[in-house]
Structure 1
């Protein structure tokens, strides 16, 4: 127990401890690391989207000054085993419940036989300097016979399409289906129905720090250390140990300060394994740092889904049946399997009560960069399809979009609410807590209420201005398993060290978890060391993806601390000759309840717990003060939010100005409001960037036309509104702190909210915006089509 006089740190807005080093130039990123004798790797990448490799001549490159090694895919196959495809395993409970088929192609470290997207690595040069490696790479002659490129998912399924992976004889490399109720019958009987296609385009995380890997081999112990800008150090270690045929104990992976991840760095790339292989091969440290153009060409993209929705509803707007058949363009490879597609399928229901529901997903290979999770990971696509559908129902019936939502929303008195489908952990989806209508009402109140806005909108229309209000609500499964680890140790000076498999990429984890530990142990956060992103600190860990670290690591810390506290109290009770049940924690000390001054410091307890002569442990208590706990969550917690966008559309230029943007967000108990605000605002800006600016565009030959930041338009500060945040706290009953995840939520709703706002602004023209991005030229084309449907094409 913790003494009542101890201050509480959970719930406080505390500045990030990390910022002192980061803002004073003392941070260390992988590109800052310099090792003695370090060599530099440069990859030779395909200039063709699809083609057969006829020959690679590296002779001239190998003869260049400073070149230590040139390696091709064929040579690598002779030196090392292939790496198994697929990185995300799904539990047997899921596999037995969900109809699915997965044909995951195995991606080689370097292309062999064929190339399947522009930028795919075919060879690598290792040299004394980066400049020498770049010069030598220019001399590697790659002879590729071009094949027809496949750049659209629908076209990829046509019988006449070229096939990327001949071993499957199809570009359909994954599919799944889920259903509850009697969808076909309910659709047939519904008084009203509509069908629409919704498209969420391809864009990506683009962290400020690109990827990078440095590796060093110790020949004395035949061990390897890897420094990688990754979100999953333990996964990298495990895969590297397998590839190098080493015990995991001889491989260490470290993530230094990481300048953003957003899911882009959340899985294993070929470079994570090939760089340590090269270091061991040549006997010297090897470094590879990705350039921005290389990042756009090679690091994973995301989104890129096409949905065919059919919905049946009654005259009051109640949804009677919903069916969605959608395609996921996974690019040339599919590193995460069906995870994104299944995320989309189970998040389509959103905060709504829909008895008859079906979703079918097909995963299609094309000659583009592989598709993998980016902040939201399949949820923005689901929210776009469902939230546009809600507005279309309202338009059909002449109702307010918010009223249609309210009539379909699950209410707080229905919580916990079983949804009749399995989550990707195989457990039944049960919304654990939340007030969905309350969140929407909060957002509306922030703009003065719906009626006041409609009056303002009518007045603006009389003056030729187009104002619109868009709402988008969503739920998000957070804190997914399978586990996360925590080691809690009390040092000899009484400070507390916590280690975990979680990895920070700027979320402020050192601060957040210091707050959690400070409350558990009644100490000051400054007396706590949080050690993350290093496999030498803890043997088993999972990593930071999928809005999971706050939920899972806080629980692991809680239960490890419970075990350790029992040991501390046993030793302290022995020291003070009292019962452990009579003790409490007091600001770095253990004291007797109700007896001021009768106490011992944690440092003294740590000294008493040491092995050897003159220890002061009671009989049966082992030496040392540390405990490890692996938290295995029973299932996910469900965060939720409503986003509200108030926009003005310029009819002359098609430009979109966001007048106000409001978010009513619920992530359970808020540990640090300031950092939660930063997470939500940052995610919202990324969501708005994807809705309005960012876009990967390929031509018919599979060439990326937006391969630099001159072409790939990211939002600027002046483009973004001030985001107004309203917090709800619906504690989750599924973990000791009542927390839910927050990392991805901000990015989920903006495309749907903005699309709904634009359509509301342009309601007199009966304009529908059912695809992203929403750029001025798209708005002008949609208006022209509504005015002259016989002359315009979308």
Structure 2
């Protein structure tokens, strides 16, 4: 591979201030809702109030007479606008059941929030008001809301044509699992629930589509993580050539996986703009967001480990029920399957089996949520490690240390059959134990227990590794990954001597403009402020695979680095020609080419760029300009890892949990910008704490959402989030020339098991061994009460 990044650099490895922040913090950002175009209309959707119902008829005539209304359509009215319904991009098995998913329902609604009609008006308020005049005749049907009950005989069917709520079964087996369990001295089983989560981005979804009168195409502005996916999928859905679609992601106020999708509203916006010939806009309300934007997680996990009496794991079994919701969105079926490869975590054993069943329910579809698949896996293997420690009367840290994979710097196959790139897990874990003062915490815990202090102390560990750098384009462990793959970059030296970078990644808070400028500045020997980074517009960056799965730096950033290396190689040939020297004698350092042994003979890269632009005096056969493209397709995932340790205080009289200390030691390989890494960890840990203690999308037995607003759905804020102690170890990845691994999801993966393990640890002496997330005060108090009924000395 061309190009290298040194161990650090003038800019790489330093906390260069984020160039993105000034505009965002001073109100000069451009969000999709800021876009106002001449003649623009607004649309609103009428959504089903029922989780499951036949749609007998929809009458929009009343809406057409409302003030400001321009048009109103049913699903049948618009059916001809779409060649296909909303597709799934990850069919994990050949016999998977994929239901039709029209952008507007035509005959049946399958979850609360399913769209049934659309009103187009002069402003959003008129469109919203007119929805009340639409008459829909529903025939209510029984709903299924629980994944375990969904598979029971006689359960209501989400999609009657399938005759079952079973979507797929995906198995994996490595080694002789049954033999491992026969040989075990102890077998520990656990059942853990991954509750549904709502993405809760600060900016809800929004889309504007404008017809282009010049080329008869369309420009789509949308709050998305994946502008290239939106272009490609809308082209197929709506029958518009991709060359006639320009997709732009303006400033995006958070995504967390929920904007890693192509939604009905984006397809409807394109169809309406085409039919009406004017720009149209839709902006999601928060209550819509809670029922119409995909949810995360939604699993019932059954996991068991076989171990020796000394605590050495011999084998593991995992059985999952994964809630698909009512439809299969872009990645819905693959999320749980993707986690299959990390249930073994950082631990070394020889036998592993996994089976996942996807299940339809009459709820909002699930899809990616920060740490998708990997977070669920880490939670399960870290909960079962604590359960194993209790069964053996061993310290949880000791059990983990006994089972960690030995340090390795070259790829090795692990228990799940995949190949990890590199790791030094014990070093990271021991540093976390040191930072948290693990022995001191245990001593204080002992003292509080002996004193009968109502404020009990607990400490929990969350070890993890994750498959980042999503993903190679090749087949991985029998799974054809439908996302990820290569990433594209272009680096240009302009006649001014400044650089321009075009990247296929699409940031929404990750700091790509800053980090990519640091990489190119070191590669070309120019200041970061002389590097302009262009992104998130398919007219500027026609090739790209976008941002998710901790892939931006280890795939997109590496592509930028390698493209810059090609620019330097071309400039080196031109410099040799300019200096009348052999190319092999040319040295390059800090933006200057010189002749070996004659440092006074030299030219800057800016001078070379000027000569290349003029094109008058170039080496024979060389084209003008300093520009290079690179498509980087990684040979493997990267595998960042870490240890998160949480200390909690639990008020045994009220069940309230507080976090006085949280330590995280992560390893994402070499760090480009430490401040950005810390920021990603802060956000991810906050989300993990949110899942552990506060957040849950709740439905009643009929599929009605009980957490449809932020009044009912608790997103933690600054008062609920502690200060963090963060450190990094550095274990370079051999899968790319920068050695980087990715950090965007790590915080959300290691934190939730650390928090829940800490809560249970604080109460284990009272007989509490299990609490499902979120560990709300009521759940914690009830666990203490129930344990007290069978624990001497504990009463209500």
TM-score by length of 2: 0.94
Deviation at 1:7, TM superposition (A): 5.8
Cα distance in 2 for residues equivalent to 1:79 and 1:684:
43
Give the aligned partner of residue 426 of structure 1: none
> What SS does structure 1 have at the residue aligned with 2:783?
helix
- The answer to whether the Cα contact below 8 Å between 2:467 and 2:637 also exists between their aligned partners in 1 is yes
Runs of 4+ in 1 over 6 A off after TM superposition: 1-4
CA distance in 2, matches of 1:502, 1:3: 20
Offset of 1:265 from its aligned partner? 0.4
Deviation sequence 1:312-350 (CA, Å, 0-9, x none): 111001111211111011111121143211122211000
Separation (CA, whole Å) in 1 of partners of 2:120 and 2:237: 19
Q: How does 1:307-386 map to 2 (within 5 A)?
A: 307-335=301-329, 336-386=331-381
State the distance in 2 between where 1:371 and 1:620 align. 55
Number of the residue aligned with 2:482: none
Partner of residue 569, structure 1:
572
Residue 528 (structure 1) aligned to one of 511, 528, 531: 531
Report the CA distance between 1:126 and its aligned residue: 1.0
The residue that corresponds to 2:458 in the other structure is: 468
CA distance in 1, matches of 2:506, 2:414: 32
* Structure-2 separation of matches of 1:38 and 1:544: 30
Secondary structure of the structure 2 residue equivalent to 1:278: helix
| Corresponding position: 1:610 with 2:600 | no
Alpha-carbon contact 1:175-1:338 (below 8 Å) kept: no
For residues 711 and 763 of structure 1, the distance between their equivalents in structure 2, rounded to whole angstroms, comes to 30
Q: Does 1:398 align with 2:393?
A: yes
- CA–CA separation in structure 2 for the residues paired with 1:473 and 1:13: 27
* Conserved 8 A contact 1:104-1:337: no
Partners of 2:724 and 2:114 in 1: CA distance: 39
Partner residue in 1 for 2:685:
684
- Quick check: 1:653–1:776 contact (8 Å CA) kept in 2? yes
Whether the 8 Å CA contact 1:86–1:106 is kept in 2: the answer is no
Distance 1:602 1:3, change over 3 A: farther
Residue 425 of structure 1 corresponds to none
* Closer, same or farther: CA 293–109 of 1 in aligned 2, 3 Å: same
Preserved CA contact (<8 Å) 2:767 2:791: no
* Counterpart position of 1:508: 511
The CA deviation string for residues 625-672 of structure 1, in whole angstroms up to 9 with x for no partner, is 222111110010110011101111111001111121100110000111
Query: Secondary structure in 2 aligned to 1:394?
Result: helix
Q: Are residue 704 (structure 1) and residue 705 (structure 2) matched? A: yes
Is residue 207 of structure 2 the alignment partner of residue 213 of structure 1? yes
- Which among 431, 435, 445 is matched to residue 446 of structure 1? 435
Contact 1:379 1:748 in 2 (8 A): yes
Unaligned regions of 5+ residues in structure 2, if any? 472-484
User: What's 2:34 paired with?
Assistant: 32
Partner of 1:224: 218
User: Could you tell me how far apart the structure 2 residues matched to 1:414 and 1:253 are?
Assistant: 41
Residue of structure 1 equivalent to 2:786:
785
Contact 1:432–1:637 (8 Å) recurs in 2: yes
The superposition leaves residues 721-748 of structure 1 with CA deviations (integer Å, 9 ceiling, x where unpaired) of 1111011010111111110010001001
Which residues of 2 match residues 185-264 of structure 1 at below 5 A? 185-264=179-258
CA contact (8 A) 2:409 2:421 kept: no
Partner Cα distance (2:751, 2:198) in 1: 15
Q: Which residue of 2 aligns with 1:408?
A: 403
Q: 1:790 to 1:115 in 2, by over 3 A?
A: farther
TM-score of the two chains, using structure 1 as the length reference: 0.94
Which residue does 1:497 correspond to in 2?
500
Q: Secondary structure at the match of 1:412?
A: coil
Partner in structure 1 of residue 774 of structure 2: 773
Q: 1:548 to 1:2 in 2, by over 3 A?
A: closer
Greater mean alpha carbon deviation, residues 57-66 or residues 781-790: 781-790
Between 781-790 and 202-211, the greater mean CA deviation after superposition: 781-790
Contact 1:174 1:337 in 2 (8 A): no
1:175 and 2:169 equivalent?
yes
Please, which of 376, 379, 383 is the counterpart of residue 388 of structure 1? 383
Do the aligned residues in 1 keep the contact of 2:174 with 2:416 (CA within 8 Å)?
A: yes
Alpha-carbon contact 1:151-1:700 (below 8 Å) kept: yes
Higher mean alpha-carbon deviation, 360-369 vs 69-78, is at 69-78
Change (3 A) 1:593 1:104: farther
1:622 CA displacement: 1.6
Shift of 1:580: 2.6
Choose 213-222 or 573-582, whichever is displaced more.
Answer: 573-582
Q: Equivalent residues in 2 for 1:2-151 (5 A)? A: 8-83=10-85, 85-88=87-90, 101-151=95-145
**2:631 aligned with 1:641:** no
**What are the ranges of 5 or more consecutive residues in structure 1 without an aligned counterpart?**
423-428
Which has the higher mean CA deviation after the structures are superposed, 40-49 or 266-275? 266-275
Q: Is the 8 A contact 2:185 2:308 kept in 1?
A: yes
| Range with bigger deviation, 667-676 or 594-603 | 594-603
